[in-house]
Structure 1
Amino acid sequence: MRVVVGFQDTGAGRDALALGARLAASSGGELHVVLVLASTERATLAPPEAGFTRYLEQAALEWLAGAQEWLARHDRGVPGGATTHLRWAESGAEGLLEAARELDAALVVVGAARGGIAGRFRVSGVANALLHAAEVPVALAPKKLRSSPAAGVSRVTAAIGLRPGASDVMSASIRLADALGARLRLLSLVAIDEEGLGTSDAAAAAAHAHVSTVLEGVHETLPDGVAADTLVARGATFSQAVVAVDFAGDELVVVGSSRLASAGRLFLGATASRMLRELPVPMVVVPRDAVMGEQS
């Protein structure tokens, strides 16, 4: 699996680096660490004297070298090592998407913004732009993930709603589980008071029926060695339902894009946004009507 990490010389950047290294190493794939400098800085920040651009580039190259050193120091090595890239673009998101296209990446990894609760998400400007325009899956690393001792991925959880249209999530989740050597879990979250589904038992029964139907539909397509099970979590609110789930420290959660997303594009919907705020583990958001590329 070819993984592109959007790196910055910050804690969030190292969270993304840790997750990217984990995914690349677990899949026996490639890790590409990309640092994007805004091209507008050349015009708006450069002083009259020459040399500012060279100074900025040198600083960025030192940050990328620091990323390599961090991987080695924390034993986050990837077979074949990590490849670093320095790019100029109009925005961080644009630069990362260009790199993902050129490298035929399976996914792009970014970290949470500063200011969030430890172990939870607060979406940065770059991540927000990616989550509303990307053509490839985007993985979000929660704050402080860099401190986690987890080395692999034991389980991929596909978040399946009660509405039709789980194919994007299932396709991406199956391929991820296969590439990472992980178990597959289908998760349905039921918010009793928010979805008007009647009693708690009736809502849970509907959710169980739905995830069982989805599992039956994909069972014959599961690769050899990928085991799958289901879970229905319920709560008075969506947030309570998420909190009720037992997530492993080395788990990934996969969610789909909003129905508002254009075909082949990613758009983070309201439900996934609420889930994001409560998750203690990395989340992967997949584009609508698209499956992960051949490099996955």
Structure 2
Amino acid sequence: MKYVVGCIADKRGREAISLALALSKSLAAPTHAELELVHIIRGSAPEDAGSHSERVYQQFLQQSAQKWMDRALALVPSNMTARTHIRFAGSMAEGLLEAVSAFKADLVVVGAASHGPFRRFTVGSVANALLHSSPVPVALAPSGYLPPREITRITCALGTRTGADSVLEVAVDSAAIRHVPLRLISLVALDGDSIHADAGQWARVHAATTLERAIEGVRARTIVTADVAQGKSTEAAIDSLDWDESEIVMIGSSRLAERSRIFLGSTANKMLRALPVPMVVVPRFHVPVPAAARLGHI
């Protein structure tokens, strides 16, 4: 497994590294993830600069970035494989997507916007761009995130639209490999707009159905539970659930997403802003790594 970690010279960069470290841990064994710590500088590389002044400025940014990247690398335990990269691109999102392609990465990890409240998300321009175009899962660290000793639970939010099977498969496999419980949640916002006459009853039936499917997929590899979260809004439904600081949430992409691409839907966007724990967004119809070659989906 290979993770591209977006490193900015502030707390967002440290939080992204913290989440990458958390995802690379397992109760049973390490996932053998390799971390590609990537810092993006906007504009051309010094050797491609159009003028002397631009070349000098880009060299200054590169030298300053290298100091930060040396500190970032020091945050990674010595028994893990990690490399630093300084790349040039038109934007950070563009540069990270190019790095994902260049390094054949399985996951991209970024932090929340710098002005977000503690333990909550504010989606900045970089995360927003990734959440509408990435070909690989995107992991988002909330503001103030610190790496737990280990991930203790994976929660998977499931809908009813086509494409939900892929996120369920990734969640089941990720929980099984880490030997942690898997919790399935079905969200019901009782705002009067539901297409179901009895939204609460429908959600319970849906949760039971997805629980049955997940148990069949996970077999005896981990414990699976299901919860229905109800509230006057999606945010209220999220707040009604209990959350462990050491868990992560997985969710699939909107039906508007192209195949094997992420597109964050309206419900997922509302979830993101209410969650106090990291979220991993899985591309639509995501094809997991073959079992024979798999060391961990995320």
TM > 0.5 between the two? Answer: yes
Task: Give the structure 1 partner of residue 254 of structure 2.
Answer: 258
CA shift for structure 1 position 128: 0.8
Find the aligned partners of 1:54 and 1:189 in 2 and give their Cα distance. Answer: 50
Alignment of 1:60-209 (within 5 A): 60-69=65-74, 71=75, 77=77, 79-145=79-145, 148=146, 150-163=148-161, 165-196=163-194, 202-209=198-205
Unaligned runs of 5+ in 2: none
* Cα distance between partner residues in 2 of 1:41 and 1:32: 19
**Cα distance, 1:248–1:116 mapped onto 2, change above 3 Å:** same
Cα deviation 1:80-128 (Å, max 9, x = unaligned) = 3422112122221122112222322221110000211111101111111
1:28: which partner in 2? 32
Task: Give the partner amino acid of 1:255.
Answer: I
CA contact (8 A) 1:3 1:24 kept: no
Q: Deviations over 1:173-229 (max 9, x none)?
A: 123223433221110111122443677xx4222112112212222323216522211
Cα separation, partners in 2 of 1:78 and 1:196, compared to 1, 3 Å = farther
Aligned residue number for residue 59 of structure 2: 54
Instruction: State the shift of 1:65 in Å.
Output: 0.3
- Partner residue of 2:271? 275
Residue 39 in 1 paired to residue 43 in 2? Answer: yes
TM-score (norm 1): 0.88
Residue 9 of structure 1 deviates from its aligned partner by: 0.7
Q: Distance in 2 between matches of 1:216 and 1:247?
A: 23
The verdict on how the C-alpha distance between 1:158 and 1:194 changes in structure 2, with shifts beyond 3 A counting, is: farther
Kept in 1, the 8 Å contact 2:22–2:147? The answer is no
Deviation at 1:78, TM superposition (A): 6.3
Structure 1 consecutive aligned stretches of length 4 or more whose deviation exceeds 6 Å: 43-46
What is the deviation of 1:49? 7.8
1:34 counterpart SS class: strand
Query: 2:44 and 2:102 mapped to 1: Cα distance?
Result: 22
How far apart, CA to CA, are the structure 2 residues paired with 1:167 and 1:38? 38
Q: Is the 8 A contact 1:12 1:113 kept in 2?
A: yes
2:214 is the counterpart of 1:246: no
CA distance 1:212–1:40, shift in 2 (3 Å): same
Structure 1 position 162, deviation (Å)? 4.4
Distance 1:210 1:267, change over 3 A: same
Supply the distance in 1 between the matched residues of 2:102 and 2:53 (Cα, whole angstroms): 34
Q: Distance in 2 between matches of 1:80 and 1:215?
A: 35
**How far is 1:55 from its partner?**
2.2
Q: 1:45 to 1:12 in 2, by over 3 A?
A: farther
Describe the SS at the equivalent of 2:19: helix
1:237 counterpart residue number: 233
Once residues 92 and 171 of structure 1 are traced to their aligned partners in structure 2, the CA distance between those partners, rounded to angstroms, is: 30
Work out the CA distance in 1 between the residues paired with 2:219 and 2:104.
23
Question: Given the alignment of the two structures, is residue 284 of structure 1 paired with residue 289 of structure 2, yes or no?
Answer: no
**1:30-68 CA deviation, whole Å, 9 max, x = no partner?**
222111112348588976385433322211111110102
Aligned residues: 287
What is the rounded CA distance, in whole Å, between the counterparts of 1:151 and 1:86 in structure 2? 29
Q: Which residue of 2 aligns with 1:3?
A: 3
Letter in structure 2 aligned against 1:88: F
